[in-house]
Chains A and B, each alone.
Chain A
Amino acid sequence: MSTTSPQLQQTARPPIATRRGVTLERKHARFGWVFLAPFAIVFLVFLVLPLVYAFWMSLHTNTLAAGEKFAGLANYIAAFNDQRFLSGMARVGAFALVFVPLQIGLALLFALILDEVKTRLSRFSRLLIFAPYAIPGVIGALMWGFLYSPSFGPLVSFFDFLNVQAPDLLSRDSIFWSLTNIVTWQWTGYYMVIIYASLQSIDSSIYEAARIDGASKLQTALQIKVPIIASSLVLTIVFALIGTLQFFTEPQVLAPLAGNAIDAAYTPNLYAYNLAFSYQQFNYASAISFALGLLVFLASIVFLIATRKKSGLR
């Protein structure tokens, strides 16, 4: 892409003496499409086409007897009467209510602390807190699965030491919080780095002014720093929300370890995957994928519009 043929340079040469580059730029505007074209093609083929196709599939049924048949909204009606789908939806909704505030809250807290104390230790902590982001979700879930495991986890010996019955972290009652812990461990550092970097970009003369006005460190943090970095908070919240609603990897990996605590419809994405690849119900799975995708999309847009003034996304 970086090589240029001499002919192109010839034809692209601008007319002489354009004033202040305005005409110049207009003249070259069509090159925008040339630069955009490769991405636009990939966008159409791997985003627009699958979405349209998913929607099309979701409006059809496919049976051995009748083949592919138009079914209207039947798949959607079935989905919204499907207890398994609805309970999965309710579960990711509950996860979102816990994950998002927990992750972003901790990320903001750590970022504010790291912005305040600048020592070798704090720089090292920053690396350690971020490190899980470099670990694949599968490996993260595997590691925590081992740590939770009653047969080779450290928790059992720890509770033995206290002479207390160790809780089964992979049981139906506790799996929600066990998953919460894994995801918090995995993602907090990533959000922290985003927030920390925007804290770093604040002009420090503001702090000087605040100090002269007698603001305490805490007041400076809450009333000056947080409002300034509101746009990166909005961004991280949207990312966390999108990630949580499509929750898949961690429950999928833990399912064999956690036995009956995680079923095939634990999250909508897991349900869609199992419907498609275990039961070959691609049309119904498409309806669920599409409904979930639409919901994630609408939830993010609603959140962005509600916080429009704060977010940089326009």
Chain B
Amino acid sequence: MTTSLVRLLDKSTPAAGPRKKDGNPAKGRSKSVGLHILLVAVSLYFLLPLWWLIVAGTKSTQGLFAGTGGPLWFDRNFALFDNIAQLATYNNGIYLRWLGNSFLYAIAGGVGATVLAVLAGYAFAKYRFRGRGVSFMILLASVMVPATALVIPTYVLFNNLGLTNTIWAVILPSLLSPFGVYLMRVYVQDAIPDELLDAARVDGSGEFRTFATIALPLMRPAVVTVLLLSVVGGWNNYFLPLAMISDPTLLPVTVGLNAWQVQSNSATANSLIWNLVTSGSLISVIPLIIAFLMLQKYWQGGLSVGSLK
């Protein structure tokens, strides 16, 4: 019964594929040719930097500056594998450390933030506890607090506790996701009928068991969405680790690559590592692109959950 309900909900969320629209295909054809040309032009614009990155990732530093194919085509010297080998060994393979750190920060922060958001969203949606209204108002207001305003005071607090330059300095502040709580609350309110929970209670199921066995499976689409958003937020985070971490072995890949850019920019010839900046950037964007392609159904519908009211 539970599985069929999940399917039903999946269908009723906007995630579930394109809506069938009955139109007259022949009639709108001439107009849609124009729209298609526009779409192609727009797509090319959005593709341009990515295409450049794919091409540039396969070039040596020499090829980047004076390649045979120009900036937007491959050089005669295909150096992708050389670059990867160099990435794995340069500075004792620090790039691999950075990738590992990014994974750690994104997954630990993302999973933690999602767990907290699921529990809190469920509380707001399904319990009329004392102080709920005020708490939710505060939560909504906190969505408007810019995250960067918190970085400097958090840094000073952590510095007093000796926590800067540790993984906790990046992971702990990432656990905070007021918007995730808001998304979960809105979703749970519509997707889980009170009667279902009451029926479970009458059957003698405890609150935690009801949550884990009845509510949680129904929350799956929203859970995946919030998880994806928080993991992406963690992977892309820049200001927080930039402020918190100065130990090069603890940097995430975003801060590390920018440090390489700065180095190459002001460097003497033998420490020019532009080829590592480009190939390192190329490799670092692959995990998220794969995640987004695999989870299309979720983000395409789930992102709008918060605005459907």
Contacts and interface: CB of A to CB of B under 8 A. Distances in A.
B99 to A, nearest CB: 12
B21 A118 contact: yes
Contacts of A293: 145-146, 149-150
Interface in B39-78: 39-40, 42-43, 45-50, 52-53, 56, 64-65, 70-72
A125 B71 CA distance: 24
B125 to A, nearest CB: 10
Contact of B156 (A53, A231, A256): A53
B224 interface: no
Given A139-B285, A276-B152, A33 B206 contact: no
Nearest to B278: A146
Given A4-B208, A129-B46, A136-B254, A142 B308 contact: no
B166 interface: no
A312 interface: yes
B258 A253 contact: yes
A51 interface: yes
Interface string B141-162: 1101111111111111100000
A252 to B, nearest CB: 8
A306 interface: no
Nearest to A253: B258
Contacts of B157: 49-50, 53
Contact of A185 (B45, B176, B303): B45
Nearest to B38: A113
Interface string B214-238: 0010000000000000001001101
Given A8-B206, A128-B46, A57 B235 contact: no
A272 B148 CA distance: 10
Interface of A is mostly: helix
A124 interface: yes
Interface in A18-55: 21, 24-26, 28-36, 38-40, 42-43, 46-47, 49-51, 53-54
A85 to B, nearest CB: 15
B212 A134 contact: no
A75 interface: no
A197 B144 contact: no
A286 B258 CA distance: 25
A204 interface: yes
Contacts of B48: 147
Given A121-B36, A146-B52, A198-B304, A57 B145 contact: no
Contacts of A61: none
Nearest to A249: B238
A143 to B, nearest CB: 4
A290 interface: yes
Interface in B264-292: 265-266, 277-278, 281, 284-285, 288-289, 291-292
A146 to B, nearest CB: 7
B144 A242 contact: yes
B307 A312 contact: yes
A262 interface: no
A200 interface: yes
B235 A136 contact: yes
Nearest to A292: B149
Contacts of A53: 153, 156-157
A154 B64 CA distance: 11
B116 interface: yes
Interface string B119-158: 1101110111110100100011110111111111111110
Contacts of B266: 256
B114 to A, nearest CB: 11
Contacts of A135: 50, 285, 288
A176 interface: no
Interface stretch (A9-17, A76-84, A97-105): A9-17
B175 interface: yes
A162 interface: no
A136 B173 contact: no
Contacts of B70: 154, 157
A124 B153 CA distance: 43
B146 A245 contact: yes
A24 B230 CA distance: 35
Given A135-B285, A193-B299, A246-B148, A200 B209 contact: no
B148 A198 contact: no
A83 to B, nearest CB: 21
B129 A29 contact: yes
A28 B120 CA distance: 15
A35 B120 contact: yes
Given A24-B198, A131-B50, A249-B239, A142 B277 contact: yes
Contacts of A196: 300
A50 B153 contact: yes
What are the 7 A-B residue pairs with the smallest beta carbon separation, nearest first?
A32-B127, A312-B309, A293-B149, A32-B129, A197-B304, A9-B206, A232-B307
24 contacts: A29-B128, A31-B127, A34-B123, A36-B123, A38-B116, A39-B116, A50-B150, A57-B153, A134-B288, A137-B238, A138-B238, A139-B53, A139-B254, A142-B277, A157-B70, A185-B45, A197-B301, A198-B308, A207-B21, A232-B304, A252-B242, A286-B152, A296-B145, A297-B146
Given A50-B157, A142-B258, A197-B300, 12 more contacts: A8-B206, A25-B198, A30-B129, A113-B35, A117-B36, A128-B43, A131-B289, A132-B49, A138-B238, A147-B49, A194-B303, A200-B301
